[in-house]
Amino acid sequence: MAIKAEGVTRAAEARKKEQAQYWVYLDGEFKRYADARLGLMTHALHYGTGVFEGIRGYWSPEHEQLFVLKLREHFARLQRSVKVLKLKIPISLDELCKTSIELVRKNNFRQDIYLRPLAFKSSEEIGVRLHNLRDSFAIYVTPFGNYVDIERGIRCMVSSWRRVDDNAAPARAKITGIYVNSALAKTEAMENGFDEAIMLTHEGHVCEGSAENIFLLRDGKAYTPPTSDNILEGLTRLGMIELLRNELKVEVIERSIDRSELYVADEIFLCGTGAQISPVVDVDHRPVGDGQVGPVVNRLQKLYFDIVRGRNDKYRHWLTPVY
Ligand SMILES: Cc1ncc(COP(=O)(O)O)c(C=O)c1O
């Protein structure tokens, strides 16, 4: 046990050393991670006044190419999020895309990666508000693998934590502070022996996972909550709607979903940039369908991974090559 703990510590230290050397972008300059320092009183750290994105890049050994998935769409969403928090990013959408690609190139990553742009209130002072504060903008990039187990399927619980309401803190904008809601739900689920939480809205409708949108399949049709049910307007969600309709010829219906519909669904999956396509095989100790990964989710996963690794020309427009 002691030997294992020592190994874990050594691996963590090695990772930290490596991370210190990554190039990051902060307020108009490329810097080493170790040199990009923020003050203890940074507003966003105390009050959650930041917005962010999570963007994946997939390495393709066949093409010897790194493909960034839906790069422009992510930055377009970031531009919508900043409006909500009255933040300003001083560079254009084109420049945001260009800078990200330049950053990945500078790091010379030739493996799967994750990009994390972050716009935040950076004044170092006390006082909760959005106005009369300095804004900063950063991009961080790191090698990244699977965020949840996407092969065997995951077990979920309906969270005792409700999703934040649009009139309390709008989930439509990817606001750092709102992720306390997700963290409460995720930890509750994991401490109860599940892999992930499914949150409900205040009205009791199925909303989303801690960092994923949700779909269920029943009698050959797919259902997903509408964007007016306090979800993040997920880009993977949009991609899934497109693939279900156009490739699998499955009708997709966006409507409010009752909790008990989770218990009688044939298939359920969560989707998001981090989680990718995660089949759900059990909800609240009730097997989904026969408790195995279902055929529609299987097909969607295959299609998705072919697309993101550049093996499907029809959807090449989802990808931006780095090199
Ligand atoms: C709360 C929440 N819902 C849904 C998603 C999925 O969004 P996307 O597919 O754009 O990554 C995410 C991931 O970013 C999320 O954090």
Active site residue 174: yes
- In this prediction, residue 7 carries a pLDDT of 72
- In this prediction, residue 93 carries a pLDDT of 98
> Would residue 315 count as lying in a domain?
no
Q: Which atom of ligand 1 is nearest to the CA of 70?
A: 10
> Would residue 320 count as lying in a domain?
no
Paired tokens of 161: 């934590």
> Would residue 296 count as lying in a domain?
yes
Paired tokens of 177: 């502070």
Domain span at residue 228 reads 154-308
- In this prediction, residue 145 carries a pLDDT of 80
DSSP E strand boundaries for the chain: 23-26, 29-32, 50-52, 55-60, 65-69, 113-121, 135-143, 154-158, 196-200, 206-209, 213-218, 221-224, 252-254, 267-272, 276-283, 286-287, 319-321
> Would residue 169 count as lying in a domain?
yes
- In the chain, the amino acid numbered 43 is H
The verdict on the CB of residue 53 being under 6 Å from ligand 1 is: no
Whole-angstrom distance, CA of residue 98 vs CA of residue 9: 37
Cα(67) to ligand 1 centroid in Å equals 19
Residue 233 belongs to domain with CATH number: 3.20.10.10
> Would residue 316 count as lying in a domain?
no
Give, as one character, the DSSP assignment of residue 111.
Answer: S
Residue 126 belongs to domain with CATH number: 3.30.470.10
Q: Is 29 exposed, middle or buried (0-12, 13-18, 19+ CB in 10 A)?
A: exposed
Q: Do both 194 and 235 map to the same domain?
A: yes
The tally of domains found in the chain comes to 2
Task: Report the candidate in 299, 313, 309 with the shortest Cα–Cα distance to residue 244.
Answer: 299
The β-bridge partners of 67 are 58, 321
- In this prediction, residue 27 carries a pLDDT of 98
Q: Under DSSP, is residue 13 helix (H, G, I), strand (E, B) or coil? A: helix
Whole-angstrom distance, CA of residue 222 vs CA of residue 235: 17
Q: Do both 30 and 99 map to the same domain?
A: yes
Q: Do both 287 and 161 map to the same domain?
A: yes
The verdict on the CB of residue 68 being under 6 Å from ligand 1 is: no
Rounded to two decimals, what is the model's pTM?
A: 0.95
Q: Do both 31 and 98 map to the same domain?
A: yes
Q: Do both 97 and 13 map to the same domain?
A: yes
Cα(102) to ligand 1 centroid in Å equals 25
> Would residue 130 count as lying in a domain?
yes
Mean pLDDT by 10 residues, the chain (323 residues): 68 92 98 97 98 98 97 98 98 98 98 98 98 98 81 95 97 97 98 98 98 98 98 98 98 98 98 96 98 97 97 98 98
Q: Do both 54 and 179 map to the same domain?
A: no
> Would residue 148 count as lying in a domain?
no
- In this prediction, residue 10 carries a pLDDT of 87
> Would residue 30 count as lying in a domain?
yes
